[in-house]
Each structure stands twice: as structure tokens, then as C-alpha cells.
Structure 1
């Protein structure tokens, strides 16, 4: 009998195809979803999507629509079409708008060039594996867990003219020359920025600590072998290696500066030198003198400005992935 004839019941290519077919069969079994799985996944996707639509996108759409109207917030029959008049009024005839824009820019610069470097410095120091590092991390991160309203209340105790800790340390507490840190329009913005920095620096510290942990140790070793000092290693090797974290922090800082509201609203409702765009939105949407159309126009302007860094970050992220 010729040895070239195949064995009965065995395909000639069985040894080649059987493992591949088994892998394909295994993959099909793993990827196949039962009806119950599809229902569960559908519910898990549908509920967050519905919540997002109801609580975010629906109010956003309504705000955009109301920004082109004149309405006092009472009867729906009082809604009148206003076109672009609300936006024109905000830009040309609304006195607090441009001071609020200037204050938001100052807020951004302060967080970007003072608060963020402080957070970076804290992260670098705590990354040195010093004794009690976890305790220090908890201490510096505690303000992040507090709401900005509570942060404002705490700093009111610090800045109080008559009983504040700061005036007590300066020896002016209860005297005529005591500084009214939150009441004086010349200094209250900077006082509020110090309070915001207290919270923002801890947040940045945690982000940079995570970034430092992700840097390949071999990069530092190579820099040390080449004779680089610790400062040179950080700025020329470690910091550039954290570029993704740096981009995230830049975006977060911009958004934080734009959405700043709680502290100034607790202090004096965003008036007397503490005007911010977010505070102007609430002033026009809530209260007796509410002007829904004007407040909605301010909210849309703030939304458009906020979308710029978000879109920039998403474009860079998706471009990197592609």
C-alpha cells in the first residue's frame, strides 16, 4: 500500500487547520453574548446616557435657546424673540462683563503660574520617599475633598477683619487700620486667589505624583550616568516625559479658572471687585431681578470659552491614538 494515501477518516490538512479552528471557535464562544448580557449592557449604557441628556444636554440646549429671547422667568407666554440683542448688550452695554473677563484671566494666570508650580513642587518633594510621605499627601490633599463653598467659609475665618487669624497675626485685629481682606475691592480678588490656590495645589500635586510614578526609572539612571544633576534630570528628562500629564493639567487649570464660582459667591456674591463670568450667570438667572435671556447668553459665552481647551485636548488625544 502506498504511503502517500491519506489515512481513512483523517483529513490531510487536519494537523494544520485543527488548532486554528479551535482558536476561532474559542474566540466565537468568548465574544458571543446572550440575550441577558445584551439587556444588561443596554441598561448600563442607556441609564447614564439618559441622565446625561436630562441633566446636561437638555439644559444646555434650553440655555442656548433662551439666550436669544427676552423672558423674566415667569409665564412662558412672556417669552419674546430677541435675536442677538442679549449678546450685543453683554459685550457693549453690560458694565460688569469686561471686569469679569479680566478677573477670569487673572484667575487663570494665578493658578497657572503660581498654584500649579506649587503643586508640582509638592509632588517632587513627596516623590523623594521621605518619611511620612503618605501623611503629608493626605494633609495637602484634604482641601481637594472639601467643597469650594466650605473652602470659602474656612477662609472667611482667616480673613475676617475683626476676628480673623491673619489680622490677629498682623496685630491689627479689632483696630481701625485692620485690612478688610474680603471687603476691600483692591485686595479681595488676591485673597480669594490664595484660598483657591490652597485647594488647587493639592489637586495638581496628586496628578503630578501619579505622573512621576509612571516615569521609567531607567531615564533617570541614564541621566545620572551622563553626569546630569538632579535639577537637570528633572527639567530635561523627567518633566518632558510627563507631557501627557502636563497637557491634562493645563486643560484642568483653564477649566478651573473659568468655572470658579463658589468661593467668590460665598464671599460677596461675586460683586465689589470679585466679578467673574460664572457669578454673573447666577446673578442674572436667580433672584428677584433675574433676566433669563441675559443670564443664558452669559452661560453660552462661558460654555464656548470652556469648550476651546476641551476640544484641543480631545483632538490631541484622538490624533495620538490614531
Structure 2
């Protein structure tokens, strides 16, 4: 009797079912209330920007080609490029104002800005009483430039001011007129402006340092780098976006300097040694003798210079970032 061993039958394998494609969620359509809400929160700022920024800028551009005393619309005379030719050739305060704006920019970029960065780096090292130091240094930034000007006007007072009292020059025969001397008044105003600008730069850079990866500092310390080398070779290059913001802010602050000079200079009418483009614009538009065409032409020149400098700087940096990527 022979028996055959039958191999066990393999279970039949069923083909795997094809994956069910996930349903794409249709984007939710905005209802009428959502559209109205977005229109309000976007439209109101755009409308305010148009009314308070772009329309006055366009009006200044148009008025720069006219001669108008600001009294009646019938007195507007179209004179073409005459205001610009007059400014560049026969308007004496213009070139000293340009020179003083350049001095303001260089002074702000070379002294208070690096000092603010230095303070931010030191306060980021978790020293004792950091909060107190931050508050004390940032306090001038909380005050308006007009209040800062009043404070420094008391300090610079030639008769009973704090500065002359400290250096022993408060007597009538030896006192120093810090704001009346054309050789000193611009530098006195620059010191007052730097007092406020330093705290602003410190806060901006301190915010950037808070987001910096501490592991990079530890790696640099393991490689033998000291504090100065770590900052210059590791921290400073890594905070390039913050550096760009600080440079743009410094340039804008230097170009639009007005409040503190207006207070320390005694109001409308630029003192010798204190001429700035912003003051020339005010003197010509709201001064005793209104030359709105001159003032508008200077405002257009100032706008073009600031836009050209800032846009060129930003385009170059963005182009470098694309090349590195």
C-alpha cells in the first residue's frame, strides 16, 4: 500500500488594493463677513498711507516746479526747474546743510551705533543687574526727541548749566556757549542725539542676540577663540539681518534729524552751524517768508537721496544672499 504525501496548498494571495487617494481639501471660501473684515484691516492702513504719505509726497514733487507763497491757489506759478537750479547754484545754506547731514551720518554710524552694539553684547552675557542696566540705557528712547532736547538745553545752558558747572566755566567771563557757538553747536546736538540713539541700537541688537544659537559660541570657545574673536568671527556675521536693519535705521535717523535740532536751535530759523536739510525744508515752508517751491524741492532731493542710498544697499545685500544660497 503506497501513500503519497500531498504538499500543503499555499494560501491564495490576494492582490493589494490600490491606495485610496487622499481627498484634497478645498480651500475654504471667505464669506462676506471675512471679506469685509480683511478689507477693513488692510484698507484703512493703506488709505492712511495714501493720504498722509504718498499724496503729500506727490504734492511736494509737483510744488517743487512752482513758485507759491502759500496764500492762494491763484498765486501758483509754474517755473519748471528754476527752484532746483537756484538751490544748487545760488542758495547758500544748501551745501552746508548737506555737509552737516553727512557729518551727522558718519558720527552716528561710528560712535553711538558701535557703542550700542557693544553694550548689547555685554548685557547678553548675563551679568548682575542686567535688567536695571537695560532700563537705564533704554530710558532716553522712551522720551520724545523734544523732551530730550529740553533736557540737554538745561545741561548746555551757558549761565547755570550742568556742563559748565562741572568743568568750571559757569562764570560770565569764562562760560562756554555750547549752542550759540557755530563751531560747537552741531557737535553738542550730536552728543545729545547719540545719548538717545545708543539705547535704541542696544535694544535692537539685544533682541537679535536673544535668538542667537549659544552652541556656536561654545564651539568657538572650544576652538580657543576669546570673547572678541567670537564676536567678530561668529556672532557678528551670523546676525547679518540685524546689522542691515541697524544700518538702515542709522541712515534714516541721520537724514530725518529734526526735533532735537529744532528745540536746541531755538525754533524756526537755522542757527549758523546747525543747518540741516530738514530744517531748511521747515524754514522755507512755514518760515516768515514762505518759499514753498524751495522747500518742496529740497524735500524731493532729500527723498531721492535717502531712497537711492537705502535701496542700493538693500539690493546689494539681497543679491549677495542669493549668490551664497
| Superposition TM-score, scaled by structure 2 size | 0.90
The CA deviation at 1:213 is 1.6
Aligned ranges 1:235-246 → 2 under 5 Å: 235-246=232-243
Distance in 2, Cα, partners of 1:121 & 1:308:
29
Aligned ranges 1:82-231 → 2 under 5 Å: 82-231=79-228
Alignment match, 1:311: 311
Q: Deviations over 1:129-179 (max 9, x none)?
A: 111111111111111111111111110000000010000111121331100
* Aligned residue-pair number: 308
Distance in 2, Cα, partners of 1:221 & 1:16:
50
CA RMSD of aligned residues (A): 1.9
Alignment match, 1:16: 20
Bigger radius of gyration: 2
Distance in 1, Cα, partners of 2:219 & 2:301:
49
The CA deviation at 1:314 is 4.8
Distance in 2, Cα, partners of 1:315 & 1:33:
36
The CA deviation at 1:315 is 3.1
Unpaired stretches in structure 1, ≥5 consecutive residues: 7-11
Alignment match, 2:285: 285
Q: Which region of structure 1 is more displaced relative to structure 2, 312-321 or 275-284?
A: 312-321
Q: Which has the higher helix share?
A: 1
The CA deviation at 1:204 is 0.4
1:80 aligns with 2:52: no
- Summarize the Cα distance change of 1:216–1:316 in structure 2 as closer, same or farther, 3 Å threshold: farther
The CA deviation at 1:252 is 0.9
The CA deviation at 1:288 is 2.2
State the SS of the aligned residue for 1:16.
coil
The CA deviation at 1:124 is 1.4
Distance in 1, Cα, partners of 2:202 & 2:308:
25
| Superposition TM-score, scaled by structure 1 size | 0.91
Alignment match, 2:296: 296
State the SS of the aligned residue for 1:279.
helix
Q: Deviations over 1:182-241 (max 9, x none)?
A: 011110110000000000000000111112122211111111111111111111111111
Alignment match, 2:43: 46
Contact 1:251–1:309 (Cα < 8 Å) also in 2: no
Runs of 4+ in 1 over 2 A off after TM superposition: 2-6, 312-322
Q: Which region of structure 1 is more displaced relative to structure 2, 58-67 or 42-51?
A: 42-51
Alignment match, 1:274: 274
Unpaired stretches in structure 2, ≥5 consecutive residues: 1-11
Distance in 1, Cα, partners of 2:15 & 2:296:
84
